Amino acid sequence: MFDNYSLSLAALLLMLATMMIQTLVATVAHRKQAHYVPGIVSDTLSHDSFVFRSHRTYQNSLENVPLMALSLLTAIATGLDPLTLGVIAWVFALARIIHTALYYAIATERNPSPRSYFFMIGLLSNLVLLVLIAMALLN
């Protein structure tokens, strides 16, 4: 069943690898603070702190990647066109990477910030996928 979906599964692997890298970056940034408590990010930190941004980037992926992963697996189970699914999966994966890079690089409280656009691209790709799944199930 998964043979035709190698493009989608490769994108899923990239999403998971991105999250692993985000975990490592956030962990190292957190541990480099002069005073830290394991597992707690200070409420006094904001976008000017890389610790805050690395933590939020990981948390944001934790909020979005599992939904996309489950959507991908559901789409495979429903037999969605492999190329369509692959394109959607790669758009999401690349949007998440760009979102992460921008969040790491730009310390801004402004909204929308440049990272917001890539968040929305990822969100919309997941929404499109959910609509395609619903349409496949209704047919």
Query: pLDDT 10s digit of each residue in the chain, 139 long?
Result: 667 999 999 999 999 999 999 999 999 988 887 777 776 777 777 888 888 899 899 999 999 999 999 999 999 999 999 999 999 999 999 999 999 999 999 878 887 888 999 999 999 999 999 999 999 999 8
The two three-digit tokens of residue 136, written as one number: 């496949």
- List, in sequence order, the alpha helices (H) in the chain: 6-31, 50-78, 82-105, 114-138
Closest CA to 59 of 113, 23, 28: 23
Q: Class for domain 3-30+44-138, per CATH?
A: mainly alpha
Angle at which helices 114-138 and 82-105 pack, to 10 degrees? 160
